[in-house]
Amino acid sequence: MATVMDVTQKDSDILEEWSSKLKSVHTTRAEMNMLVMDYLEKEGFKEAAEKFKIESGINPTIDLQTIDKRLEIRNCLQNGEIEKAVALINEIHPELLDNDNLLYFKIQQQQLIELIREKDVMKALDFAQTCLVERAEDGDPDVLTELERTLALLAFDEPSTSPFGDLLNLGHRQKVASEVNAKMLEQENQESVPQITKILKLLAWSQQQLDNKNVKYVKMTDFAKGTLQLS
């Protein structure tokens, strides 16, 4: 029968073997730099991308000047300046909101949320009736659910602590801003999701599949630090 020390030694050997195999996989600095540049481009970090271009010698795959408008729109959405964001979107991609009803609903939903945040009840109700109710009546159950959740905030004296308070979190603004950014990239025939994000999602999915099958393997438990642990 194996002792605890035997198992511990075996686990240590497996980790060491795994680490050795990882080190044998050669990823060039140029490949890593391209992943970094791709992330900076997609997420709209223009200044960082310009500096990284100088430091790494990696040329961007897009004209960095096009990032300016995307970044301005993103900042507007993150700051709750929804009407300004819509005007800018229509300026650079005039057909986007006409052709993507769900995206437009999410932006208008955020506008409604901002009115509720400002406690402008009458304006919020008028905006919902004028701009959102008709969209909810189109038959999309997700749209109707989201509209109901948003309007439910009006029933609470402190909507931020209500069961629907997540809508008032700044993270909700960030979510809408990210979706708009991704759609604009698609309009510009660019991949909307950074390659590094796809890689991490694939890693997380693969590990989940192994966990579901109770397979013993070396698991990355902390993506940011690259921490490995035997599952």
User: Buried b vs exposed e over 55-80: b needs ≥16 C-beta within 10 Å?
Assistant: eeebebebeeebbebbbbbbebbeeb
Q: What is the mean pLDDT of residues 42-55?
A: 88
Tens-digit pLDDT profile for residues 79-101: 999 999 999 999 999 999 999 99
Q: Is 26 helix (H, G, I), strand (E, B) or coil?
A: coil
Higher pLDDT, 84 or 218: 84
Give the model's confidence band at 128: pLDDT under 50 very low, under 70 low, under 90 confident, else very high.
very high
pLDDT of residue 100: 93
Q: What is the mean pLDDT of residues 110-134?
A: 93
CA distance 18 to 204: 18
pLDDT of residue 8: 67
Listing DSSP states for 136-154 in one string gives HTTS-HHHHHHHHHHHHGG
Sorted by sequence, the CB contacts under 8 Å of residue 5 that are 6+ apart come out as none
User: Buried b vs exposed e over 151-172: b needs ≥16 C-beta within 10 Å?
Assistant: bebbeeeebeebebeebbeeee
Inform me whether the pLDDT recorded for 4 exceeds 60: no
For 45, counting Cβ atoms within 10 Å of its Cβ (0-12 exposed, 13-18 middle, 19+ buried), the class is middle
DSSP-assigned letter for residue 158: S
Q: Across the chain, what does the average pLDDT equal?
A: 87
DSSP-assigned letter for residue 133: H
Inform me whether the pLDDT recorded for 2 exceeds 70: no
Report the percentage of the chain scoring pLDDT > 70.
95
**Predicted TM-score (pTM) of this structure:** 0.70
Q: Among 13-17, 36-40, 93-97, 162-166, which is the least confidently predicted range?
A: 13-17
